[in-house]
Amino acid sequence: MSALFGTYARSPLAFERGEGVRLFSQDGTPFLDFHSGIAVNALGHSDPHMVEALKQAAERVWHTSNVFTIPEQERLAQRLVETTFADAVFFTNSGTEAIECAIKTARRHFFDKGEKDRFEIIGFTGSFHGRSTGALAAMGNAAYLEGFGLPLPGFRHVAPGRIELVEAAITPQTCAIIIEPVQGEGGCTAMPVEYMRALRALCDRHGILLILDEVQCGYGRTGRFFAYEWSGITPDIMAVAKGIGAGFPLGACLATAAVAKSMVPGTHGSTYGGNPLASSVGNAVLDRMLAPGFFAHVERVGAHLHWKLQQLQQRYAHHLLEIRGRGLLTGIKIATPVRDFSVRLRDTHHMLAQPAGDNVLRLIPPLVITEGEIDEGVETLAAAFEAMDREKASA
């Protein structure tokens, strides 16, 4: 009996060590990791530069409060400001907290302008923003909200895809629109670049803010540092996490100066957010990702994965219904229940991949994966489909 909350239907499988795109279970069995701790282990397992950075940080100061200057955090923020749309950064421990900061920052901006009633945020069906009461309200997904009382007020939801629906939801109370450029949990749905541009234009026309949730699709996963770069637009606020710490708990809310300036002392805070350990790791991640060719590598292997999956679909069209996503945030909609398939893949074929909504299997390997390792993953999927067909034929 586990002493833990039963919030996860956990597998008894436990991993002892990892190397690159492989995890080794306690009995030494290697598993091919197309899961990455849900899009977190961007640099794979046991990257020497990351291990060294954390060891060195552990020998300095682990933690000081944010009431003191944290040089590693200042440096990390400066690097993010230099490489993104943003002028200022607030560090958190998770994606959910980055979303909370984004919601508060958007509302506070209009409060400061004297528009106190302007606090409503438009979100999208199929989105995922985290598990806090604020993030759940932003998602508006009934299944996640059930049993937790009334959702927090101040949110409206529309289906993504048609810009008229968003425009119709705008009221004098609207302060922002929040969207994932590529929905992760919802089923690896990439928003078309035209749609992202139309949302930006709509925000500008109505004087409201665009918040991007790049917790999953950001930090190189789509083959650009951030997914918004594909559309050529920039947000006003952006939530980031997962890959930012590559396994160390870290998140961030990025904003333009015009918006961030409302977040004055007393408006927000975090005990741990961006502490010396986390910020040192965050800087080490950037050392690797901002090195020449890193994002080009992700773009290239991502295109290779899509090409291989198209070939797989030709052979197994009765299993593989649709290929979705962008770069290494790719999903395949399959014909059989995705949870069962992911368990089969794990237990029989020793490959890890995470189910998402709409019966999609997410393929989110470490960004350092090679073309050869991608081929291995796709061959493993083929072997799983093949085994299912054989079982069906002999049944």
Ligand X SMILES: *Cc1c(COP(=O)(O)O)cnc(C)c1O
Residues that bind ligand X (CB under 6 A): 94-96, 99, 128-130, 180, 184-185, 213, 215-216, 241-242
CB of 309 to ligand X, least distance (A): 21
Instruction: Compute the C-alpha angle 163/240/352, nearest 5°.
Output: 95
- CB of residue 138 to ligand X, shortest distance in Å: 9
Q: Which phi and psi angles does 24 have, rounded to 5°?
A: -115, 125
Rounded to the nearest whole angstrom, what is the least distance from the CB of residue 191 to ligand X in the complex?
13
Nearest to 31 by CA among 39, 22, 40: 22
Return the SS3 of 289.
Answer: helix
Residue among 161 and 207 whose Cβ is closer to ligand X: 161
The H-assigned helical ranges of the chain are 36-39, 48-58, 71-83, 95-112, 133-139, 142-145, 163-169, 193-206, 257-260, 276-289, 294-315, 338-349, 371-394
Structure tokens given for 275: 């502490």
Give the residue ranges of DSSP H helices in 6-47: 36-39
CA distance 39 to 43: 10
Q: Determine the Cα–Cα distance for residues 135 and 349; give it in Å rounded to an integer.
A: 36
The residue at minimum Cβ distance from ligand X is 95
Minimum distance from residue 4 beta carbon to ligand X (Å): 17
Nearer to ligand X by C-beta: 138 or 260?
138
Strand partners, 92: 251
Query: By C-beta, is 103 or 320 nearer to ligand X?
Result: 103
Please name which of 235, 190, 239 lies closest in space to residue 215, comparing C-alpha atoms.
Answer: 239
Nearer to ligand X, 215 or 260 (CB): 215
Residue 23 or 252 having the CB closest to ligand X: 252
Token pair of 109, please?
A: 């901006």
Identify which of residues 73 and 96 has a Cβ nearer to ligand X in the complex.
Answer: 96
Of 103 and 158, the one with the shorter C-beta distance to ligand X is: 103
CB 183, min distance to ligand X, A = 7
- Least Å from the CB of residue 150 to ligand X: 22
Whole-number minimum distance, CB 159 to ligand X, in Å? 17
